Amino acid sequence: MGLEFCSIASGSSGNSYMVRNDDTVLLVDAGVSGKRVLAGLESAEADFSDVQGIFLTHEHSDHVKSIKTVGRRSVHANVYGTYGTLQAVRDKLPEGRAQTIRNHDTVTVGGIRVTSFPISHDASDPCAYTFESGGKKIAIMTDTGYVSIDMFDHIKDADALVLESNHEVEILRSGPYPYPLKRRILSDLGHLSNDTAGEVLCGILKEVNERKMPTVVLGHLSHQNNTPAQARLTVENALFEQGYYDGSQVRLMVASRSEPGPLISVGD
């Protein structure tokens, strides 16, 4: 078996993901209630007792809301994060089970190799992660204002990718958010737009072996400034302009903000 993952929740109000192989279950973030994290695990026939590692991307509440509960109940799991992230939530972490991971370092938990790499967001020391097992690779990258060459290099060969598609630029610009918040979201320390997600995905497909069809899940959608239909439309239009099609060169999905998604396998 290679790897499987599912989105437990993905959006501006809360984020959590599960990644696993035959003998290891990992969580990425705990930004919704412990009850919802458990429901997501149970949808994949797992529970807190199966979790062997929890990886935090940064300290914003939509990523760490229930880390105290989830960390306490996941009795076999260490909590991993950069120094800045762990310091920001240190009062919520289970005693003796916090593990600092530096960017570009790799740790092995069970049978899964996890690599951290820096992203650009207004947090202490934010990061994203890749997960590798059985010759397969999953990448989860949200909450970044732009995609650097280094970020791109980490995600370009993933068999499955969660890629931020936070907002539609014109909806955000004409919407009710105060101007400073709009500037923050649109800045290099903010969030990726649908347009940028489409550009990044086209760049990936230019480098993908023709026999490989990656699964890409658009995630971290804004409730106010995006919709699943809009995100898919904008990204599909970007693909079409470059001669790529959903179901031909890529499997394109959109993560639900509030419900666990399907269990996605990247195979042996």
- Which two structure tokens, joined as six digits, stand for 221? 């959608």
Check if the beta carbon of residue 55 is closer than 8 Å to that of residue 138: no
Q: Are strands 14-20 and 25-28 parallel, antiparallel or unpaired?
A: antiparallel
Residue 93: which residues within 8 A CB-CB, separation 6 or more?
A: 67, 68, 71, 79, 86
Question: What does each of the 268 residues of the chain score in pLDDT, given as a tens digit?
Answer: 579 999 999 999 999 999 999 999 999 999 999 999 999 999 999 999 999 999 999 999 999 999 999 999 999 999 999 999 999 999 999 999 999 999 999 999 999 999 999 999 999 999 999 999 999 999 999 999 999 999 999 999 999 999 999 999 999 999 999 999 999 999 999 999 999 999 999 999 998 866 678 999 999 999 999 999 999 999 999 999 999 999 999 999 999 998 999 999 996 5
Long-range contacts of 226-232 (CB under 8 A, 24+ apart): 226/165, 226/166, 226/167, 226/168, 226/171, 226/194, 228/254, 228/256, 230/168, 230/171, 230/194, 231/165, 231/168, 231/194, 231/197
Check if the beta carbon of residue 162 is closer than 8 Å to that of residue 143: no
